[in-house]
Amino acid sequence: MHELPVINSILGIVLKHAAINQVKKIMAIHLQVGAFSDLDDMCMQQYFDYVSKGSLADGAKLVIERIPAVMRCTACGHSFEINLKDGTKPVCSECGGESHSLVSGREYTIKNMEVL
Amino acid sequence: MNDGVRLIEVKEDILADNTLMAKNLNAELTGTKTFLMNLMASPGAGKTTTILATLERITKDLKVGVMEADIDSKVDAEKIAAAGTEAIQIRTGGFCHMDATMVRTGLEAMDYKRFDLVILENVGNLVCPAEFETGAHMNAMILSVPEGDDKPLKYPLMFAVCQVLLVNKTDFLELTDFNMDVFKQRVLAINPEMKIFEISSRTGKGVDEWAEWLTAKVKSVIG
């Protein structure tokens, strides 16, 4: 349900960059979205098609790259990917440490866009 | 056909505007010595009942205000006010979460500078509120026993963004197959730093301990 404010924000940012770069048409928008996000790809495209109608971004395709959830071991600094769905306690693959902090997985970034 | 297509680097955080507003709001709150707690949970997890049980135990030490956010209705704010604590009701009008701008509007309407602690009862769901920073000093969540011990697997972001978790309705434990050890392991897998309290807002079990911890936490920020 929270796709709409996210999509409105995407549209605002890409139109700003389109104006700066004297773009005629936005063809595709490349996004990086972390594994923690519940946003649904198809739903995002539908909302985007709706809010972008009549703008330079009308018809643009959202290309969504999912960024894995990665933790860094507090003890040895090693970074490793975790599976959010299996529920087992993550253990550092290098030293066996059990205390970690999140490095990635919460991204919401517009990487770049293909334009005419 | 693709002639003329060029690539423009954007590299912008989509939620940057809200994140910046939340940071600014948090700094202002700290400046006026007002601690904001963002409380999130599913509908029916016992948010309002837990707030009432908490207020009973903390209002002797802290001046507390409550901001109730719901899609529509004002029953929650009325319950809090009836119990003697100032409450404001935000009707989000269909929005599934509170963002920093909405929180600021609510705080200003309730003249927040008067309070040591403002409890924001966010819209009831485990998905959307987790995505938007509110300016709070602390995110807290409630997971009630009847919801099941598998929820960290289904809503990992919510469990990742909170610093404290109240496991409510522990008086139901015997009636369900909720496994507390497995549940805690699943929570700590996502968020190793999570502080967990087992409570029953209805019977009061465990609420004293939570209320004492919260009071100390608030005082550590507001001085």
B14-72: per-residue pLDDT in tens? Answer: 999 999 999 999 999 999 999 999 999 999 999 999 999 999 999 999 999 999 998 77
| Cα–Cα distance list, B63 to B35, B58, B222 (Å) | 11, 8, 12
Cα–Cα nearest to B33, from B216, B218, B213: B218
ipTM over the 0.95 cut-off? no
Query: CB distance B9–A108 less than 8 Å?
Result: no
pLDDT at A88 over 80: no
Q: Which of A53-67, A100-114, B168-182, B207-221 has the lowest mean pLDDT?
A: A100-114
User: What is the value of pTM for the model shown?
Assistant: 0.90
Query: CB distance B13–A112 less than 8 Å?
Result: no
Query: CB distance B4–A102 less than 8 Å?
Result: no
Per the DSSP assignment, residues forming a β-bridge with A115 are: A26, B6
Q: In what order do the strands lie in the sheet with B117-121?
A: B86-91, B64-70, B117-121, B35-41, B138-144, B164-168, B195-198
Q: How far apart (Å, rounded) are the C-alpha atoms in residues B165 and B183?
A: 12
Q: How far apart (Å, rounded) are the C-alpha atoms in residues B169 and A108?
A: 35
pLDDT, tens digit (0-9, with 9 covering 90-100), for B184-223? 999 998 898 999 999 999 999 999 999 999 999 999 999 8
Q: How far apart (Å, rounded) are the C-alpha atoms in residues B22 and A37?
A: 19
Q: Which residues of B touch A100 (CB under 8 A)?
A: 192
Q: How far apart (Å, rounded) are the C-alpha atoms in residues B147 and B176?
A: 10
CA B92 to chain centre: 16
Helix (H, G, I), strand (E, B), or coil: what is residue A100? strand
Q: How far apart (Å, rounded) are the C-alpha atoms in residues B70 and B77?
A: 10
Longest dimension (CA), chain A: 55
Contacts of A64 (CB under 8 A, 6+ apart): A31, A32, A33, A41, A44
Q: Say how many CB pairs under 8 Å bridge A and B.
A: 98
Q: Which residues of B touch A38 (CB under 8 A)?
A: 127, 131, 155, 157
Q: How far apart (Å, rounded) are the C-alpha atoms in residues B147 and B139?
A: 20
Q: Which residues of B touch A111 (CB under 8 A)?
A: 9-11
Q: Which of A39-43, A61-65, B45-49, B60-64 has the lowest mean pLDDT?
A: A39-43
Residue in the block written with tokens 């990086």 = A32
Closest Cβ opposite residue A89 in set B156, B157, B189: B189
Query: Which segments of chain B are extended strands (E)?
Result: 6-13, 35-41, 64-70, 86-91, 117-121, 138-144, 164-168, 195-198
Does A17 lie at the interface with B, CB-CB under 8 angstroms? yes
